[in-house]
Amino acid sequence: MFDALLPLTETQREIQRLARDFAREHIAPFAAEWDRDQHFEPSLVGKMGELGFLGMLLPETYDGLGLDASSYLLALEEIAAADASAAVMMSVHNSLPTQMLLNWGSDAQKERYLKPMARGEMLGAFALSEPDAGSDAAGLRCQAVRDGDHWVLNGTKAWITSGTYDKLVVLVMARTDSPDARRGSKGISAFVVTPDMPGFGVGKKENKLGLRASPTVQLVFDNLRVPAENLLGQEGQGFAYAMQSLDHGRLGIAAQSIGIGRAALEAARDYADQRRQFGQPIRSFQAIQFKLADMATRLAAARATLHATAAAKERGERVTQYSSICKLFASETAMFVADEAVQIFGGYGYVKEYPVEKYLRDAKVTEIYEGTSEIQRVVIARELYV
């Protein structure tokens, strides 16, 4: 849907078809069951790795596909249309930990982690937020203290996507300044952490409204000993690395949102054609037509903005403002479209026999994670004066 608006290359169309076929065979038939059971399907990691979906933005040097941002976002949209939980795993992995390692990791770190991450042998996670540091991420308290050839980390990280997976590579932001001489965001460094390190613990698993097949947990560090060589880049630059990576991550959340919204629109479109009231399909009624038209219009605009921003990013342009615009508009569009889909289904939209109630639940978090809609508006307004 809306493909005609994008000047896709044949390679991009092939990637889109591959992702759509994979999603329809390996994800869509099981999405409702996984959602009901809060089941994370570990075999998806390996399957997605085999097809290259976990190394789309990594160069071939590190066993990635070396593709452009638009190709990645097209594939991510297809995964999200089948199941948003699978899409968030793919999005976080591709846009945050792998990109941080690629951009600021040492040669040894890249060689050790990026290749297995691209192949789906290891899964990436991102640990910035804490129970008391969400939108105010620079207020995090997790402390790292140098002890010989190790850093010792203590603290709790919150809202970690895929945090229960045993073959995990976590990019952790922690304070390396001292408690009596805080340096704000410049006192935060980034570390590469794995579950086999002494002191690594998985804490509370959240019981969520949506994305129920994607485990979201707290990570608890109790004198976690991290080798000194696992410091990413320069000490004190971790917060800057995280913020730059979130520019890309927000494009991924926009693609996820569009996938959710597209699935909701397609379900509503088909239902409106099949459902009859007063002797005719409900799509004959202007009230339904207007809903479908508004849903399609907003999705088309969100998708066009997303891929225009991705193209600008590929040209090396600064896209902080437009990444936030994409994330804000696409996430609010997903909520609007899913809500309208439930309304078109009427009472059936409110029961689990039909998929639209899941789309509504899954859509809501896109307005919250990787920067709330309110934070996106702050970023957009601030960038007007840059």
Q: Which of 50, 370, 374, 383 is catalytic?
A: 370
Number of Cβ within 10 Å of residue 177's Cβ equals: 17
The answer to whether the CB of 331 falls within 8 A of the CB of 367 is yes
Sign of CA dihedral 67, 69, 70, 71: positive
As a residue count, the chain comes to 386
Give ∠ CA 83-87-88 in degrees, rounded to 5: 120
The answer to whether the CB of 291 falls within 8 A of the CB of 219 is no
Residue 326: closest CA among 312, 314, 309, 313 = 309
What's the gap between Cα 291 and its chain centre? 28
Residues contacting residue 100 through CB under 8 Å, at least 6 positions apart: 171, 190, 232, 241, 242, 245
Residues contacting residue 160 through CB under 8 Å, at least 6 positions apart: 125, 126, 127, 170, 216, 217, 218, 219
Q: Where are the alpha helices (DSSP H) in the chain?
A: 10-26, 31-37, 43-50, 69-82, 84-95, 97-104, 107-109, 115-119, 238-274, 286-314, 320-345, 356-364, 373-383
Can you tell me the distance from the alpha carbon of 361 to that of 212, in angstroms, rounded to the nearest whole number?
A: 9
The answer to whether the CB of 316 falls within 8 A of the CB of 354 is no
Alpha carbon distances (Å) from 215 to 143, 204, 209, 334, 357 = 25, 10, 12, 22, 20
Can you tell me the distance from the alpha carbon of 219 to that of 165, in angstroms, rounded to the nearest whole number?
A: 12
Is 10 catalytic? The answer is no
Query: Which of the residues are catalytic?
Result: 370
